[in-house]
Amino acid sequence: MNFSELFKLSGLLGCFSPDGKCLASCLQHRLVVRDASSLQILQLYTCLDQIQYIEWSSDSLFILCAMYKRGIVQVWSLEQPEWHCKIDEGLAGLVASCWSPDGRHILNTTEFHLRITVWSLCTKSVSYIKYPKACQQGVTFTKDGRYMAVAERRDCKDFISIFVCNNWQLLRHFDTETQDLVGIEWAPNGCVLAAWDTCLEYKVLLYSLDGRLLSSYRAYEWLLGVKSIAWSPSSQFLAIGSFDEKVRILNHVTWKKITELNHPATISNKKTIVYKEVEKSPTVDRERLSFPPTRALASSLFSTQSKYEISQVPVSLQYIKPVADRANPKVGVGMLAFSADNCFLATKNDNIPNAVWIWDVRKLKLSVVLEQLCTIQYFQWDPCQPRLAVCTGSSRVYLWSPAGCIVVQVPGEGDFQIMSLSWHPSGDSMLLLGKDHFCVCYLEREEV
Partner 1 sequence: MGDWKTITVPVLSSDSKNILPYTSERKRSPTSMNSHVLRLSLPSSKNMHSFFSAFCTEDNIEQSISYIDRELTTLGFPSIYAESKGKELNLIAIINCMNELLALQHKNLRAQEEVEMQHLKLGSDMDHLQNCYAKLKEQLELSKREIVGLQERDRQLQSKNRNLHQLLKNEKDEVQKLQNIISSRATQYNHDMKRKEREYNKLKERLHQLVMNKKDKKLAMEVLNYVGRADGKRGAWRTDKTEARNEEEMYKVLLSEYEQRQGQLLLENAELKKVLQQMKKDIISLLPPQKQKPKERSEDGLVLSDQEEDTGELNKENMWEVSCETVREQLTNSIRKQWRMLKNHVEKLDNQVSRGHSGSLNEKDVISREDHELETEKLELEIQQCKEMIKTQQQLLQQQLTCDDDTTLLLQDCYLLEERERLQEEWRLFREQKKNFEKERKSFTEAAIRLGLERKAFEEDRGAWLKHQFLSMTADCKSENVTTPSAFLRCKYLVQVMFLHNSDPDIHLVKPASRQRKPHLVWSPPVSPEPCQISQYITQNSVASEKPAADNMPNLWVESDDKEETE
Q: Which of 21, 115, 330, 435 binds partner 1 (CB under 8 A)?
A: 115
Minimum distance between the CB of residue 114 and partner 1, rounded to whole angstroms? 5
- What sign does the CA torsion over 343, 393, 375, 448 have? positive
User: Is 169 among the residues that bind partner 1 (CB under 8 A)?
Assistant: yes
Cis peptide before 292 (omega within 30 of 0): yes
Say whether residue 49 binds partner 1 (CB under 8 A): no
82 touches partner 1 (CB under 8 A): yes
Q: Is 90 in the site for partner 1 (CB under 8 A)?
A: yes
What's the closest the beta carbon of residue 101 comes to partner 1, in angstroms?
Answer: 9
- Cα–Cα distance, 8 to 34 (Å, whole number): 13
Q: Least distance to partner 1 from the beta carbon of 144, Å? A: 9
Site for partner 1 in 239-278 (CB under 8 A): none
Q: 150 with 141: CB under 8 angstroms?
A: no
The residues, any chain, with a CB within 8 Å of residue 12's CB and separated by 6 or more, are: 419, 420, 433, 435
Could you say whether residue 69 binds partner 1 (CB under 8 A)? no
For partner 1, the binding residues in 290-349 under the rule CB under 8 A are: none
Single out the residue of 19, 102, 185, 341 in contact with partner 1 (rule: CB under 8 A): 102
What values do phi and psi take at 159, rounded to 5?
Answer: -135, 160
Is 111 within 8 Å of 117 (Cβ atoms)?
A: no
Nearest-angstrom CA–CA distance, 256 and 249: 8
Q: Does 189 bind partner 1 (CB under 8 A)?
A: yes
Cα–Cα separations (whole angstroms), residue 7 to 39, 46, 328, 379, 432: 10, 17, 35, 22, 11
Rounded to whole angstroms, the Cα distance separating 395 from 375 reads: 13
Task: Kindly tell me which of 143 and 330 has the beta carbon lying closer to partner 1.
Answer: 143
- 66 vs 121, which CB is nearer to partner 1? 121
- Cβ closest to partner 1, residue 156 vs residue 285: 156
Q: Is 98 in the site for partner 1 (CB under 8 A)?
A: no
Q: Which of 2, 46, 83, 403 binds partner 1 (CB under 8 A)?
A: 83
Q: Which stretch binds partner 1 (CB under 8 A): 122-130, 298-306, 367-375, 381-389?
A: 122-130
Contacts of 325 (CB under 8 A, 6+ apart): none
Asked if residue 58 binds partner 1 (CB under 8 A), the reply is yes
Q: Is 411 in the site for partner 1 (CB under 8 A)?
A: no
User: Listing from the earlier edge strand, what are the strands of the sheet with 30-35?
Assistant: 14-16, 22-27, 30-35, 41-46
Choices 23-31, 113-121, 278-286, 393-401 (CB under 8 A): range interacting with partner 1: 113-121
| Residue 388 CB contacts under 8 Å (≥ 6 apart), including other chains | 339, 344, 346, 356, 358, 379, 380, 381, 382, 399, 400, 401
Tell me if 174 contacts partner 1 by CB under 8 A: no
Applying CB under 8 A, among 38, 222, 302, 321 the residue interacting with partner 1 is 222
Considering the rule CB under 8 A, would residue 173 count as an interface residue with partner 1?
no
Min dist. Cβ of residue 348 to partner 1 (A): 30
Which residue from 53, 74, 73 is spatially nearest to 10, judged by alpha carbons?
53
- Close Cβ partners of 296 (under 8 Å, ≥ 6 residues apart): none
Residue 40 or 324: which CB sits closer to partner 1? 324
Handedness of CA 213, 217, 218, 224 (dihedral sign): negative
CB of 384 to partner 1, least distance (A): 24
Q: Which is nearer to partner 1, 125 or 294 (CB)?
A: 125
252, 254, 256, 260 alpha-carbon torsion, rounded to 10° = -50
Q: Which is nearer to partner 1, 188 or 414 (CB)?
A: 188
List the one residue out of 98, 105, 19 whose CA is nearest residue 60.
Answer: 19
Binding site for partner 1 (CB under 8 A): 58-59, 62, 75, 77, 82-92, 102-104, 110, 112-115, 119-126, 146-147, 153, 155-156, 164, 166-167, 169, 171, 179, 189-191, 208-210, 222
